[in-house]
């Protein structure tokens, strides 16, 4: 399967926090893209089983009042999972974050992901011949990458639908950096992520220890 020739399901979540072991989904978006163009865009707020911390609301702008009357993730899981199961390609920026939370909190999601090809634009951005050596704090954050590449930011950069679209746009821009075959592209990215993670740990080990 040539991954640039088939529809992509770009997904993103907004959550109650950044710890994948405890964070809950407060907004979910799925965006279909074909040939780098958006053909379908859907997003929904969902009511988490816990209050939304103020520091999380400060990032995405979603508060307890916004989700008070919304369905829970379990109540919308069937529709969402059906879309995932039908998608030949799943695209997510920093995919391990979203996928880990959804596998833990969304009924049926883990099963729907079986056999899906997952492509993570963040890994592409961090490649040595792309953006590994870009300078500046937050250089690999999604909105900053789009700004650098002069890609459109479709609405609020910290809401799920906008982030899902931006992830697809970034991947499309750098599509020539990956093998054409979907399975080969996924394997390439998996290997690259292992190296990137190792490089980060080596960098962190070299940092001076801050006195208590």
Q: Which domains does the chain have, with CATH numbers?
A: 3-206 (3.30.420.10)
* pLDDT for position 164: 97
* pLDDT for position 152: 87
Buried b (16+ CB within 10 A) or exposed e, 150-166: ebeebeebbbbbbbbbb
* pLDDT for position 38: 96
Q: What is the pTM of this model?
A: 0.94
Residue 7 has pLDDT above 90, yes or no: yes
- DSSP structure class, residue 106: S
* pLDDT for position 198: 92
What's the average model confidence in pLDDT over 147-154?
90
**CA–CA distance, 205 with 87 (Å, rounded to integer):** 40
Predicted confidence (pLDDT) per residue in 101-148, tens digit: 999 999 999 999 999 999 999 999 999 999 999 999 999 999 999 999
What's the average model confidence in pLDDT over 77-104?
97
The two tokens of residue 104 are: 């833990």
Residue 203 has pLDDT above 90, yes or no: no
Predicted confidence (pLDDT) per residue in 13-69, tens digit: 999 999 999 999 999 999 999 999 999 999 999 999 999 999 999 999 999 999 999
Nearest one of 164, 201, 25 to 156, comparing CA atoms = 164
């Amino acid at each position: 399967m040539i991954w640039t020739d088939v529809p992509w399901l770009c997904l993103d979540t907004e959550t109650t926090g950044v710890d994948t072991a405890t964070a809950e989904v407060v907004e979910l978006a799925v965006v279909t893209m074909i040939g780098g163009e958006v053909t379908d865009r859907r997003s929904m707020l969902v009511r988490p089983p816990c209050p939304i911390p103020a520091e999380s609301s400060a990032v995405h702008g979603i508060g307890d009042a916004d989700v008070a009357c919304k369905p829970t993730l379990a109540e919308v899981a069937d529709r969402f999972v059906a879309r995932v199961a039908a998608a030949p390609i799943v695209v997510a920026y920093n995919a391990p974050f979203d996928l880990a939370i959804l596998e833990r909190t969304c009924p049926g999601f883990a099963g729907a992901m079986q056999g899906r090809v997952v492509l993570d634009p963040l890994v592409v951005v961090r490649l040595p011949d792309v953006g590994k050596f870009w300078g500046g704090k937050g250089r690999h954050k999604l909105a900053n990458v789009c700004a650098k590449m002069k890609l459109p930011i479709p609405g609020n950069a910290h809401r799920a639908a906008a982030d899902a679209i931006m992830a697809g746009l970034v991947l499309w821009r750098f599509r020539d950096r990956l093998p054409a075959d979907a399975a080969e592209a996924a394997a390439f990215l998996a290997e690259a992520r292992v190296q990137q993670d190792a490089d980060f740990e080596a960098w962190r080990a070299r940092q001076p220890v801050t006195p208590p």
